[in-house]
Amino acid sequence: MTTNERSPAAPDKESPAWTTPSPWTAWRDATPARIALGRSGDALPTGELLRFGWAHAGARDAIHAQADFDALQAQLQDQHWPAPPLCVRSQAPDRATYLRRPDLGRALAPEDAQRLDELGRASADGFDLCLVIGDGLSALAIERHAVPLLSALRSLLPATLAIAPLVLAEQARVALADDIGQRLRARLSVIALGERPGLSAPDSLGVYLTFSPRVGNTDAQRNCISNVRTEGQTPAQAAARLAWLIRMALKRGESGVALKDESEYAVLDDASPNPRQHGDDE
């Protein structure tokens, strides 16, 4: 039985007469958070225990599921990006190892590292932008939201950007984009991957942007866009914010704590300078 959808047998939120309701019950219509659960004697009502078990199973399924990268690659090819997407793997050989050894998810498998090294050397000036899609901790997140995110993003990017081939990364952690971006000689890397599932959001996508990707970068050098999903920050909204961050990171030559997200106060237009006129740090 899959847990991607609500069980048809899941109980509703109405409490039977023998359950003591919470005074905050009306707030449940405003949030998916687990609030105002009520009680039955000294314990939670049976319905709430069942709902908790269902949500927990959904989170576990999202973490252990294998992403369908073949289907994802086909969908992205239909968007006609400048080059066909590339599929790579981290050094984690399987899902179980990936979950136990986060460090292996931050480095490319040797054969893929060599392949990206060759591609980077073949580009005379390197690339302005490297876009990576990784499974992360929720394959469900990228299967639902990665393609809509990139579709919305593409029309917002300046036509002058030199974009590397899209990279689809299996068993990926956030820092894998540093390894990928450095080998492709990219000025800026962006990775979108599944966030750690919660009990109300097993399909949340996170997006991380890093100027001058290098192995050993810290989280302080990244900007993060979180909770990308239909019920949270929609892919279209996240794409608009990401496009602004990309333009500003390339213009200012910085990201992370040095680049404050002010996208809500800015208007995207085509008047920004050519990214390469500010110099290249390669």
Determine the residue type at 39.
Answer: R
Determine if residue 130 is labeled as part of a ligand binding site: no
Q: Which residues pair with 87 in a beta bridge?
A: 168
C-alpha 248/C-alpha 275 separation (Å) is: 9
Sheet of strand 205-211, all strands in order from the earlier edge strand to the far edge: 86-89, 167-170, 127-136, 186-194, 205-211, 222-228
Residue 125 CB neighbour total at 10 angstroms: 11
**CB contact at 8 A, 206 and 195:** yes
Is 224 assigned to a binding site? yes
Long-range (24+ apart) CB contacts under 8 A made by 17-21 are: 19/45
Number of alpha helices (DSSP H) and beta strands (DSSP E) in the chain = 7, 6
Taking the CA atoms of 37, 39, 44 and 45 in sequence, report the sign of the dihedral they define.
negative
Which residues are documented as binding site?
174, 195, 224
Which residues are documented as binding site for adenosylcob(III)alamin?
174, 195, 224
